[in-house]
Chain A
Amino acid sequence: MPEKVSMHWDREVDVLVLGSGGAGLVAATLAHDEGALVLVLEKAHLIGGTTGISGGMPWVPLNMHMDRLGVEDSRDDALTYLRRITLGQEPDPQLLEVYVDTAHSMVEYLEANTPVRMFSTSDFADYYNKFPGGKPEGRSIESHPYEAGQLGEWADKVRLSPIYPRVTLEEGSQATDPSKMDFSMIAERTEKDIRTMGAALVAALFKGLLDRGVETLTETRALSLVTSEDGAVIGVRAERGGRDFLVGARKGVILATGGYEWNEDLVKAFLKGGLTHPLSPPQNEGDGLIMAMEAGAALGNMGHAWWTPALVDPTLEFEGHPLAHTGSQVPRLPGAILVNARGKRFVNELATYMDLPKTFYTFDPVAQEFPNYPAWVVFDHRCRSKHRIFTVMPEDPTPDWIDWAPTIRGLAEKIGVDADGLEKEVQCFNSYAVDLADPEFQRGAKDFGPSSGGLPDPSKSLAPLEEPPFYALPMLWGALGTNGGPRINDQAQVLSNKGLPIPGLFAAGNVAAGVFGPTYPGGGATLGPAMTFGYIAGRSSAASAPRPITSGR
């Protein structure tokens, strides 16, 4: 433990927010509006964190926009649904109630007090909407498109998705049928720098901060917390321009630094499976988690992440790394299946992006291996010619990073999958397609995922792989981010290992223990809690009594 010394701060504020994703921006907004002097530090050169590249969709029960879709919701419905799917594994059952009671107020507040404007996305179902309390649509909301020119010189410093086209989720950003996309409208939005999804949300939230005069310093990485003699967090030691940069915070420090998915050591230490292809910005290296651990925080939900199967287009790079993005849409396509190295299917391909990779860490105690990883999505030419396959449109040339062969056997040999196994599996799956029934995994008979509000329909999901050539892409172990971290209470205060709040330390977003535990109730399960507990952290930190910050360690 360092000696206590007199502090010579470069800046002194009431509330210091670390990170400028959805959680951090909302926290800074609320802390300011509750009267605090606020500063935001962002490690990256871009504002927006993981939210900036996301769908920008918070999952918000009881939200004010559900009326538009004619969907009724209630506290009981929301809690019944959450309790069913969290299976009692959530870090703190009380936080489910806090979430349901607060998330809709957070949205109402932002729409009344910032440029954020949202709407309920039609036909975007809770992912397990057939369970009691689930809804066929309405709880997943998203931003209206936002003209980034309003940010002035900051526009180019606000992150946007490297891959999502400039359409809303409702307009079809997830569409695999290219005819459902209006590329002329996307072109017009590109020229006018009109942003959608997470990029729109971040731009609108950040404009709110600019309007308030809240300062954000980019390329300023928080390294460690500064504490008072009695253990309260009173500031941060950061690095800015290659030099120490000390910020004192009289009322609190809010950790909103994102997950630890880019920190290989932490991934290896905490996640039971691998995580080789995070989809998030590479600055998510667990800085906040490390600071919280150093402060003696209790941890929760550490074995989990916001999983997604990932695909890589090696011709694309984002912030210095090959771009990985969610590949969950591809194995769902009619005429596509997901197989392991034995050539065997191992999961209902329509499983949510959160659930599907959980099958990667199934262990075979006889073979002493994880048989379901690596995995490949295999599809035929009819599928290829009708659907967008990740970044490749039907009319595009087949790029050299998609393996193909005239026969299933040839394809199997090319990608290193058991050829007998794959031939047999395709034959078997094709018979299921004829029968419109998948007795092994119930593909099409159970509905999961974003657009599953209607009835399950095997005829839209099961199609044989019979038209050559046949194609394959490796399906990789990805995540939108991790969701384990310091445990928080109903005031978003970080709890110590003794269960007591660590004075002056708050957390929200992927840095904190996920309130839903290992599950993902619907589109926006990541962002909804991030913004909601950011909202709570902003308010509660600003309401804290100021502490003396003249000396610390």
Chain B
Amino acid sequence: MANAEVTKQVRAPIEAVWRFTCDMNNWAPLIIGYESHEEISPWESMWTLKGQLGQLQKAVTFKVQITEWVEPSRVAFTLQGTNDNVTGSGLFESRQTDESTVLNVQLDLKPGGLQGPMVNAMLKPVVPQVCEDFAESLAAHIEEAYHTES
């Protein structure tokens, strides 16, 4: 399994974090390699991401199913590759501290089938970097949106 967990301090209240993260259109383009997404229902969406695997670029389309929606602190989801043998899960979790919010982002990808170990070895160095870059960008955009609002 290729996984990553990143925690970021966001200088905004938890409500502002939620306002930004509850609408996937706000943060979808912040994912490295984001190509497109489409909402099928409030709980389901299709995502296409393109990532660098070694010297190759691979586009993967995922069906994303939201499994938990706890306002204002937690969204959990699962992923299923439509063209590829890969499943996964992810989580956004927020916790208010004195003057800011601690945002926790988690992503697990599990390539399946016989090629699973090989693809996993390719993904392992990629996923943490993607997650780190995304969380960094997400925190910055939430803060910018909050300061613009206020």
Contact = CB atoms under 8 A, between A and B. Distances in A.
Interface of A: 46, 159-160, 162-163, 165-166, 178-179, 181, 183-184, 186-188, 190-191, 314-319, 323, 393, 395-397, 399-401
B42 interface: no
B117 A315 contact: no
B128 interface: no
A316 B114 contact: no
| Most B C-beta atoms less than 10 A away, residue of A178, A315, A401 | A315
A165 B114 CA distance: 13
B57 A397 contact: no
B41 interface: no
Given A395-B85, A395-B112, A315 B121 contact: no
B56 interface: yes
A397 B50 CA distance: 19
Nearest to A320: B57
Contacts of A46: 55
A163 B57 CA distance: 11
Contacts of A315: 58-60, 83-84
A317 B115 contact: no
Given A181-B114, A315-B59, A393-B113, A399 B84 contact: yes
B81 interface: yes
B97 to A, nearest CB: 38
The B interface is mostly helix, strand or loop, or mixed, namely mixed
Contacts of B58: 315-317
B84 A187 contact: no
A399 B85 CA distance: 10
Given A183-B114, A316-B56, A396 B84 contact: yes
Given A160-B54, A183-B115, A395-B114, A190 B122 contact: yes
B115 A393 contact: yes
B113 A395 contact: yes
Nearest to A160: B55
Nearest to B59: A315
B82 A400 contact: yes
8 contacts: A183-B116, A190-B118, A315-B60, A316-B57, A393-B115, A397-B82, A399-B83, A401-B83
A166 B121 CA distance: 12
Given A162-B54, A162-B55, A318-B57, A400 B83 contact: yes
Contact of A318 (B56, B82, B120, B124): B56
A163 B116 contact: no
Interface of B: 50, 54-60, 81-85, 112-118, 120-122, 124
Contacts, number: 75
A323 B56 CA distance: 9
Nearest to A319: B55
Nearest to A401: B83
A395 B84 CA distance: 10
B121 A187 contact: yes
A184 B55 contact: no
A227 B57 CA distance: 42
Nearest to B116: A183
A399 to B, nearest CB: 4
B124 A191 contact: yes
Contacts of B82: 397, 399-400
Contacts of A396: 84-85, 113
B111 to A, nearest CB: 10
Contacts of B120: 187
A399 B58 CA distance: 14
Contacts of A159: 55
A190 to B, nearest CB: 4
Contacts of B57: 316-318
A188 B116 CA distance: 12
A41 to B, nearest CB: 21
A401 B84 CA distance: 12
A183 B118 contact: yes
A187 B56 CA distance: 16
Contacts of A160: 54-55
Contacts of B83: 315, 397, 399-401
Nearest to A314: B59
A322 to B, nearest CB: 10
Nearest to B80: A397
Contacts of B59: 314-317
A314 B120 CA distance: 21
Nearest to B81: A397
A115 B55 CA distance: 24
Contacts of B81: 397
A183 B118 CA distance: 6
Nearest to B60: A315
| Most A C-beta atoms less than 10 A away, residue of B50, B117, B118, B120 | B118
B50 to A, nearest CB: 8
A530 to B, nearest CB: 21
Contacts of A316: 56-59
A191 B123 CA distance: 10
Given A187-B120, A315-B84, A397-B84, 15 more contacts: A46-B55, A160-B54, A162-B56, A178-B115, A183-B114, A183-B118, A186-B118, A186-B121, A187-B121, A191-B124, A315-B83, A316-B57, A393-B113, A400-B83, A401-B83
Contacts of A190: 118, 121-122
Nearest to B50: A317
A191 B55 CA distance: 15
A375 B50 CA distance: 29
Contacts of A166: 118
Contacts of A178: 114-115
B113 A318 contact: no
Nearest to A318: B56
Contacts of B112: 395
A73 to B, nearest CB: 36
Nearest to B85: A396
A183 B82 CA distance: 22
A397 B84 CA distance: 6
